[in-house]
């Protein structure tokens, strides 16, 4: 019972603090990975302070481990917010010097103010492109399997909705099978989020993202009643309602929450 209560508390916390998020797909310039990792390490204490001040709820950095095309991302940054207002205020804060002041405060006594200014002025030089998607949660399952740790795996799937039935098929038809898989220890988490805003270079065709935390050796497919005629017909509707890009496998680098 104590384990169940712990999972429920974690689920409630995650859901309430992750209604909105910014997913940033980072494509690095050639030879810049080491510099990028150093930059994210520099930003760790800054994000901790930003969370403390209520600027954001959490932030995670993920390395893309699956094969990518020529224009694919090398890293994914996921930043969570409790409301659209908080997200908008966060975005607007980057148009001012607020983050330089925040960086100085976070590194006070450890890094000189001049060096902080130099680092902050060079942010973005390591990346060829950053495609940002502003997301709102459509639905999600409970969170199972404990806290995330560096090295943990997540899978995101960019998706294009083809009709207005897509979200209902996913949340009313498919999600219960995912929940059953979670209860049986074959999956850990599932979330569907829709794109409501994007930066200029972000791909227009992507309308939604799936977020999945898998279990090694586990499969949601094990819970699907594929011999059922009703299931087969509903699955046909599900498959015709969307088009999925190749899943992107991620490995957690860092998490601030």
Instruction: Determine the structural domain holding residue 242 and report its residue range.
Output: 2-256
**Of 1, 17, 3, 242, which is closest to residue 140 (Cα–Cα)?**
17
CA angle (129 as vertex; 56, 52 as ends), nearest 5 = 10
CA angle 47, 51, 55 (to 5 degrees): 95
Characterize the bridge pairing of strands 187-198 and 208-214: antiparallel
> Tell me, what CATH number does 212's domain have?
3.30.70.100
DSSP secondary structure letters along 80-122: EESSHHHHHHHHHHTTTTHHHHHHHHHTTTTS-HHHHHHHHHT
Total domains in the chain come to: 1
Please give the model's pTM, rounded to 2 decimal places. Answer: 0.88
pLDDT at 18: 54
pLDDT in tens, the chain (257 residues): 333 333 333 443 344 345 899 999 999 999 999 999 999 999 999 999 999 999 999 999 999 999 888 889 999 999 999 999 999 999 999 988 899 999 999 999 999 999 999 999 999 899 999 999 999 999 999 999 789 999 999 999 999 999 999 999 999 999 999 999 999 999 999 999 999 999 999 999 999 999 999 999 999 988 899 899 989 999 998 999 999 999 999 999 999 99
Place of tokens 């299931």: 231
């Amino acid at each position: 019972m104590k384990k169940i209560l712990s999972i429920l508390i974690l689920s409630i916390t995650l859901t309430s603090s992750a209604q909105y998020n910014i997913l940033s797909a980072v494509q690095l310039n050639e030879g810049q990975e080491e510099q990028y990792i150093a930059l994210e390490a520099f930003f760790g204490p800054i994000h901790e302070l930003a969370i403390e001040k209520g600027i954001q709820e959490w932030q995670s950095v993920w390395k893309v481990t699956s094969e990518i095309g020529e224009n694919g991302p090398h890293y994914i940054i996921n930043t969570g917010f409790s409301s659209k207002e908080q997200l908008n205020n966060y975005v607007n804060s980057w148009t001012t010097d607020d983050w330089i002041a925040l960086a100085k405060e976070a590194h006070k006594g450890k890094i000189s103010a001049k060096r902080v200014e130099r680092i902050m002025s060079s942010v973005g030089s390591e990346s060829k492109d950053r495609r940002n998607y502003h997301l709102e949660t459509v639905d999600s399952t409970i969170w199972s399997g404990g806290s995330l740790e560096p090295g943990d795996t997540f899978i995101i799937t960019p998706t294009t909705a083809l009709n207005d039935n897509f979200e209902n098929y996913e949340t009313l038809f498919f999600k219960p099978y995912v929940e059953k898989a979670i209860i049986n220890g074959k999956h850990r988490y599932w979330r569907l989020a829709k794109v409501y805003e994007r930066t200029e270079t972000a791909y227009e065709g992507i309308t939604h993202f799936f977020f999945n935390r898998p279990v090694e050796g586990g499969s949601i497919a094990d819970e699907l009643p594929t011999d059922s005629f009703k299931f087969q017909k509903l699955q046909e509707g599900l498959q015709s309602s969307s088009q999925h890009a190749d899943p992107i496998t991620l490995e957690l680098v860092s998490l601030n929450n």
